[in-house]
Amino acid sequence: MAVTTELHERLIRERQRLKLTQAALAAATGVSTPTVVGYEQGQRSPPTTFTTQLRGLGFDVHYVMFGAPAPDFAADVLDWELVGRITTEIFSWCREHGLDVKSEKFGEVLRILYNESRRSSEVTIDVGRVLRLVA
Reading the chain (135 residues) residue by residue, the pLDDT tens digits are: 344 578 999 999 999 999 999 999 999 999 999 999 999 999 988 988 898 889 888 888 888 888 887 766 566 667 788 888 888 988 888 889 888 888 878 888 888 888 888 776 565 678 888 877 766
Residue 108 pLDDT: 85
Tell me the per-residue pLDDT of 20-54, one tens digit each, with 9 for 90 and over: 999 999 999 999 999 999 999 999 889 888 988 89
pTM value is 0.52
Distance between terminal CA atoms of the chain? Answer: 44
Residue 34 pLDDT: 97
- Look at residues 122, 121, 131 and name the one whose alpha carbon lies nearest to residue 90: 131
- Residue 14 region, left (φ>0) first, then alpha (ψ -120 to 50), else beta? alpha
The domain spans of the chain are: 7-71, 80-134
99 contacts 106 by C-beta, under 8 angstroms: no
- Most distant CA pair in the chain, distance: 63
- Residue 22 region, left (φ>0) first, then alpha (ψ -120 to 50), else beta? alpha
CA dist 124 and 105 (Å) reads 20
Fold of 7-71: 434 Repressor (Amino-terminal Domain) (1.10.260)
